[in-house]
Structures are given as structure tokens and as C-alpha cells.
């Protein structure tokens, strides 16, 4: 089980440092209802990750395994995911702001700061469960978990550890805000602006590194 956790760690960290959820939680904390909105977003985020990851792990478990590892099919899936991540890296890099260009953020983000508990809960769940970028990360991690042949209790523990790490970038700002909201506000404002500008660059690097890792793992599964 320890080896599997090590294999999925890069994908969990990839979700954790994705700028969008951090930007959303920062906007929520800077709004008029920070505690209700923040709690709603966190619960929805964790629920979305747990459900999406659990479903994909269950599906990947049906991939035929080889005699000494994940097998050819799992390896091919990893290579395909790695290629997709490489493509996403190129697309994200091309979208990055140039010079003094203002970063482009989705229009719905302008409403996030006014969200209460139910709206933030729904947003957190949707961003975690159906965001295409996160689904690719979840699929890459799921290949490692689903093809490892772990017992059910071990799979549940691995999914819980993955979700905790992936949600850490939402948990930490919320905990910090609860303990030191006055001192944290200027830092959050600066962080939101920096992440908005560097969003595409950060994601490009993430996709590139995780894509190379997935392709390498896939090749190792096919030709051990």
C-alpha cells in the first residue's frame, strides 16, 4: 500500500496546487460570508474528490492485470493519459498572459465572493468532480490504485489519503483564516492576484511533469 501511495502522490499534489480551487477559496474568504462560504466549498470539494476518485478507481479495477504488475492495458492507459497531459501542457502554456496583458478568468468567478453555504457547496463539488483537468489527474492516480490488487480496506485508506492531500490547499487557507483572519486578508489579496496571472504557467508545468511521469510508468508496465 505504501508503494501505491507513493505512486499517486504526484497526482494528489497536482490537484492540491492547481490555482483555480485556491483562487476560489481565497475569493470566498474575502467575501461577506467567509466562514459559511468557505465551509461549504471545502465540504463540496472533499465530497467531489471522494466520489469521483472512488468511481474511477472502481472502473479501472476491471482492467486486466499482468502476471507481474499492472499489465499491458493499464500501461497503455497510462501512456494515453500521459500524452493527454503533455497536450494540455502545451495548450496551457500558449494561453499564458504575455507582457502586461491582464489574466482572463471565468465570468462566474466574479460571483464567488457572494456565495453562501449552499452555492459554495455546489461549486466545490462540481469543480472537484467534473473539472476535466482534475479528472485526468484522478484517472492517472486511479490506474495506480485500481490495478494494484489491494484489499477493499486498503483501497479506502488510499483514497482517503489522496483526498486529504488533494484538498490540503483548500483546508490550510480556511484554518489559517479562522485563526488569524485580520492578518491574513492582505496576504490573500496578493495571493489571488498572483495565482490569477500565473494560473496557465503553473498548470503547464504540472501537466508536463505528470505527463512524463505517467508515460514512464506506462512504459514500465508494458516492458517491465
Q: What is the DSSP string of 100-113?
A: TPPPP--GGGGGGG
Q: What share of the chain is helix, strand, coil (3-state, %, to 5)?
A: 80, 0, 20
Q: Is 212 exposed, middle or buried (0-12, 13-18, 19+ CB in 10 A)?
A: middle
Give the other-Cβ count within 10 Å of 28's Cβ: 32
Dihedral angle over CA of 15, 35, 32, 117, nearest 10: 80
Give the other-Cβ count within 10 Å of 182's Cβ: 7
3-state SS, residue 116: coil
Q: How confident is the model at residue 117 (pLDDT cuts 50, 70, 90)?
A: very high
Q: What is the pLDDT of residue 68?
A: 44
What b-and-e string marks burial along 125-158, b requiring 16 or more CB atoms within 10 Å of the CB?
Answer: bebbbebebbbbbbbbbbbbbbbbebeeeebeeb
- What is the percent of the chain with per-residue pLDDT over 90, rounded to a whole number? 17
Q: How confident is the model at residue 121 (pLDDT cuts 50, 70, 90)?
A: very high
Counting the structural domains of the chain, the total is 1
- How many angstroms separate the CA atoms of 33 and 183, rounded? 17
Domain that holds residue 157: 2-222
3-state SS, residue 134: helix
Whole-prediction pTM value?
0.78
Q: How confident is the model at residue 64 (pLDDT cuts 50, 70, 90)?
A: low
Helices 34-60 + 152-166 axis angle, to 10: 140
Mean pLDDT of 165-186: 83
Q: How confident is the model at residue 40 (pLDDT cuts 50, 70, 90)?
A: very high
Amino acid at each position: 500500500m505504501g508503494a501505491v501511495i507513493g505512486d499517486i502522490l504526484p497526482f494528489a499534489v497536482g490537484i492540491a496546487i492547481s490555482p483555480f480551487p485556491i483562487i476560489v477559496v481565497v475569493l470566498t474568504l474575502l467575501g461577506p460570508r467567509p466562514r459559511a462560504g468557505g465551509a461549504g466549498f471545502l465540504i463540496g470539494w472533499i465530497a467531489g474528490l471522494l466520489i469521483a476518485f472512488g468511481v474511477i478507481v472502481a472502473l479501472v479495477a476491471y482492467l486486466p492485470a499482468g502476471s507481474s504488475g499492472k499489465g499491458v492495458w493499464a500501461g497503455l492507459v497510462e501512456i494515453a493519459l500521459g500524452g493527454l497531459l503533455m497536450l494540455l501542457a502545451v495548450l496551457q502554456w500558449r494561453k499564458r498572459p504575455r507582457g502586461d496583458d491582464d489574466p482572463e478568468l471565468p465570468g462566474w468567478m466574479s460571483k464567488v465572493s457572494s456565495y453562501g453555504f449552499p452555492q459554495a457547496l455546489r461549486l466545490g463539488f462540481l469543480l472537484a468532480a467534473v473539472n476535466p483537468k482534475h479528472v485526468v489527474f484522478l484517472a492517472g492516480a486511479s490506474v495506480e490504485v485500481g490495478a494494484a490488487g489491494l484489499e477493499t480496506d486498503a483501497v479506502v485508506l488510499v483514497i482517503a489519503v489522496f483526498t486529504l492531500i488533494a484538498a490540503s490547499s483548500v483546508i490550510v487557507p480556511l484554518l489559517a483564516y479562522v485563526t488569524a483572519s485580520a492578518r491574513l486578508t492582505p496576504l490573500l489579496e496578493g495571493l489571488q492576484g498572483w495565482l490569477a496571472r500565473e494560473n496557465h504557467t503553473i498548470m503547464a508545468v504540472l501537466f508536463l511533469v505528470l505527463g512524463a511521469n505517467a508515460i514512464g510508468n506506462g512504459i514500465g508496465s508494458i516492458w517491465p
